[in-house]
Structure 1
Amino acid sequence: MSTAHRTAPGAARPRTPGYAPELDGRLALVTGAARGIGAAVVQALVTQGAHVLATDLDPAGVEQLAAEHPGQVTARPLDVTDAAAVEALLTESDRLLGPLDIVANVAGILRAAAVTELSDADWAATFAVNTGGVFHVSRAAARRMSERGSGSIVTVASNAAGVPRTGMAAYAASKAATVMFTKCLGLEVAGRGVRCNTVSPGSTLTDMQRACWGPGADDETAAARRVVEGDLATYRTGIPLGRIADPADVAEAVVFLASDRARHITLHDLYVDGGATLRA
């Protein structure tokens, strides 16, 4: 990593006279950055001028992002379940890139199964990534941000954290725990200028969503349409806005909460689900 990376503009990013991207000079850490919502968050942050430390268990995925955004993305492998690795990465980042301004916790997994069929291993793995990983990254970042007196932590949770879902008990429970953890953290660090919020997407067109459709799913358009229409048999409402989300829809909400436009917002859980949960 190099200190020159932090403020170097991306060659492909268009500029208009008098325009200054709102996150110019900011350093952001994104977990789960290799694909899906994580990759979209990286793209949205870069567009607004931030330098992004993109992390994932998939080194090739984040290296590709760095190649696509030379001078604005630094790629590093990271297992968020490893607290020592998280601490080591943030220490390295402090030394070579400078102080961290933004954290976007996006890394997550889904192990779908009815509770009576759910294995101990799948339950533990789900909490290790979705809750433990957020704890490790947020704790390490909050310590540093609190010392400086500023910073924003945004965690991608799920609307399943607030509405029961069949076959998703481990995922929903882990995300619910993460939402409350983030609110508690936000309360503790608010007096030190650090904001903590969550974004809770509904069905979003990612690899995780496609996996829910199963190997026998027909074409993507038809599968997405079934999600939009809902399923009475599994007690799922449809999506009132009539479309499944794109990862960019979630990413824009993350960037908003990370930005100064949201400077008076903390402890908030922003649903980005097209109205699917009727905000129950």
Structure 2
Amino acid sequence: MSIEVTEQDSPYNNLELKSTSEILTNINQEDKSVATAVEKVIPKIEALVSAALEKMKVGGRLFYIGAGTSGRLGVLDASECPPTFGVPFDLVIGIIAGGDTAIRRAVENAEDDAEQAWRDLEEFNINKNDVLVGIAASGKTPYVIGGLKKANELGLVTGCVVCNAGGPVAANAKYPIEVVVGPEYLTGSTRMKAGTAQKLVLNMLTTTLMIKLGKVKGNKMVDMQLTNNKLVNRGVNMIIAETGVNKEIATQLLNTYGSVRKAVDAYLVSIH
């Protein structure tokens, strides 16, 4: 049986004998290939975005499932959507094999249970209006395969982000995204190039969806949550740029309306 690309031997050897500079340079050299690999699958990403957008426009949610690094990346992307785009916390949901404990500490054999993913998803009352994306560098994680199979049976839109071509995860996704980045610098360490590729794709997926769902104006995060001073200052500056008011008035508007979008809209209505 052939070895998956993600498990193939690194083209570099005797790593422990290399200088720090050589290690860093070689890792960077490998990382440069990741964006090119993602570029090749943009049409596949577009297809998943289009299918997901139709569901989310009518109240559907986006779910990620994965194990290990892949699961953590899904949780990360999901958790960043509410503060960035001001959407509810249950619009994009990341689920990791082994539960939230596994975000910080590996849970033994969690990824090998093909039935558990659907049990985890059922806690959120997942239904045919929702979208399920499986994330698995290997492309063969049983936890992810089981979740996708059940979702397909019930007619959900399913997608995946994997880093080997032709695996069972992709075979069970209606909209597969296979980003083949090649062997890792450290053999089999898919937290490296594979993880970077998955992060790039998830960034593209949710950012594009949120733009298309009207959560961005111009190039600004007008619905972002104002959870710290940096973001409040950013919001004030966005209001100044949109309206031409001074900093004092912009601050008052933001304090009154609680979001950049509402503040700008209210001001523009008041002057017309």
Judge same fold: TM > 0.5, yes or no: no
More helix by share: 2
What TM-score comes out, normalization by structure 2 length? 0.37
Flag the structure with more relative contact order, 1 or 2, with Cα contacts below 8 A and sequence separation at least 6. 2
Which has more radius of gyration? 2
